[in-house]
Amino acid sequence: MTVSLPSNAAYAGDLVLTGALREQLQLLHALSVEIAALRNLQEVYDRTLTYCLQLTSSEMGAIDLLSADGAELELVAIKGFHPTDDSFLARHRTTPVRPSLFGLVIIEGRSRISNDVENDPDRVGTPEGHPILRTFLGVPLRVGSKVIGMIAVANRAGGYDSHDEQLLATFANQVTVAIQNARLYERQQEMIARLEQFNQRLHEAERENLLGRERDRIAGGLHDYIQQDIFSIGLRLNALLELPLNPVLANELRDVRELASRTAQDVRKVVFALEHGCDDRSDLTTSVRTLLHAVGESSGLETELVVAGSPAPAVAGVQGVLYSVIKETLTNVVKHANAVRVLVSLRYSDDRVDVIVQDDGIGIGDLVLRTFTDDSFHFGLRHMYRQMLDVGGAFEAANGEETGVTVKVSVPLPDLPAVDSA
């Protein structure tokens, strides 16, 4: 058997071709590694097209990705493309997937070469303003067996061949990995940012919780000890003033009683300021619902909230005082009513907010209900009453028809400043 050896010239040619192919493969590997290391999607697209044009000696190129429903292609990157109409790209950023020279790359999931675009049977026409395409090569982008888009290059002098197709298809496989990696990285960064925001909100909530507990502790001490001591001082002063006293001494004692009354009122304001746990970032309904849940959890009371109407923006102007009165009323129910159940009703109107707090406890003495508006020593009821007067509202407290106490509050909504439309 005789074996023919290639001539020296042919053998040398094979060596040159092998060397060129080796260099091309090494370049392709280097480009793939570089693309895979990128984390910014737009940078992946831009660098990919730069290399695609270099690898295939093309004038223009584009990357299109499928929409989530697979019905449209979205142009995410383009190079060497100079439409005659400045608005062309904006109008054709997305195109429907349909049988065409471009669309068949997606529909059939395989590469397409056309070295005579003008007369290609799959050509369906060129939009007005689109540069002339003479030659075309498109390869699909795949994730496994799923096509997610395509890379297209055009206008290579002399046209494209199977070697260009194989080269671009191989590179496209690496580009798909880079795109997926960049997408995952962006999602990871978004998730990290959301976790950081959540962690920050958690720390803020913990800090607010600690501050709230400390405020409640201080407010409780002021209410349970300081106010009670002032109340006792007032009672003893009243008892002394009932005795036969020197007029000068009696007047001095009355001045001391008045000072005790003013001090009690000031302490009451501090207590309300400390206990004011209404979050200005939350609406009144949410704040009251949260408050009722906390009261129920801590005291065992059955709580219920009923809401009618929708709050107008002006409710924010009276939200703080309403929340304060509701909280004080619930505090009184917990401490004094021996109630099992409490119901809070919020009614929003266009010009006012009405609040009713009802419990099923033991009620309040008739004498207290008749005198609390002027009596210096019924701090809670008197302060809530004056709070309502300060905002032009109304406050009413009465025993229920059968059991418990009903507190009714009504507050007009403040006028919002006019918005300058100029």
**Residue type at 339 in one-letter notation:** A
**Tokens 């005082």 found at:** 321
Question: Distances from the Cα of 65 to the Cαs of 50, 157, 180, 259, in angstroms?
Answer: 18, 27, 12, 79
Question: What's the CA gap between 237 and 231, in Å, rounded?
Answer: 10
Closest CA to 394 of 416, 379, 413, 409: 409
What tokens does 373 get? 């508006």
Closest CA to 241 of 227, 228, 260, 257: 257
- Which is nearest to 152 in space by CA: 98, 91, 80? 80
Asked if residue 355 lies in contact with residue 408, where contact means CB atoms within 8 angstroms, the answer is: yes
Q: 384 near 395, Cβ under 8 Å?
A: yes
Pairing of strands 146-154, 136-143: antiparallel
Closest CA to 178 of 53, 41, 68, 78: 41
Taking the CA atoms of 79, 82, 85 and 86 in sequence, report the sign of the dihedral they define: positive
Centroid of chain to Cα 61: 39
Decide: 224 and 240 in contact? Cβ < 8 Å. no
Mind listing the pLDDT tens digit for each residue in 80-93? Answer: 887 777 777 888 78
Q: For 24-58, what is each residue's pLDDT tens digit?
A: 667 777 777 777 777 888 888 888 888 889 888 99
Q: What domains are defined for the chain?
A: 13-189 (3.30.450.40), 278-414 (3.30.565.10)
Q: What angle do CA 388, 393, 398 make, to 5 degrees?
A: 70
CA distance 2 to 111: 42
The answer to whether 147 and 141 have CB atoms below 8 angstroms apart is yes
Q: What is the pLDDT along the chain (422 residues), one digit of tens a residue?
A: 333 334 344 433 443 445 556 666 677 777 777 777 778 888 888 888 888 898 889 999 999 998 888 888 888 888 888 777 777 788 878 888 888 888 899 899 999 999 998 898 888 877 777 788 899 999 999 888 889 999 999 999 999 999 889 888 888 888 888 888 888 888 888 888 888 877 777 676 677 667 666 766 776 677 666 767 777 787 888 888 888 888 888 888 888 888 877 777 777 666 666 655 544 446 889 889 988 988 888 889 999 999 999 998 889 888 888 998 999 899 889 988 899 999 999 999 999 999 999 999 998 888 888 878 776 555 678 888 888 888 899 999 999 888 899 999 999 998 755 444 33
As a whole number of angstroms, the distance between CA 72 and CA 405 comes to 66
Using DSSP's 3-state secondary structure scheme, residue 70 falls into coil
Measured distance CA(410)–CA(355) in Å, rounded: 6
- This prediction has a pTM of 0.45
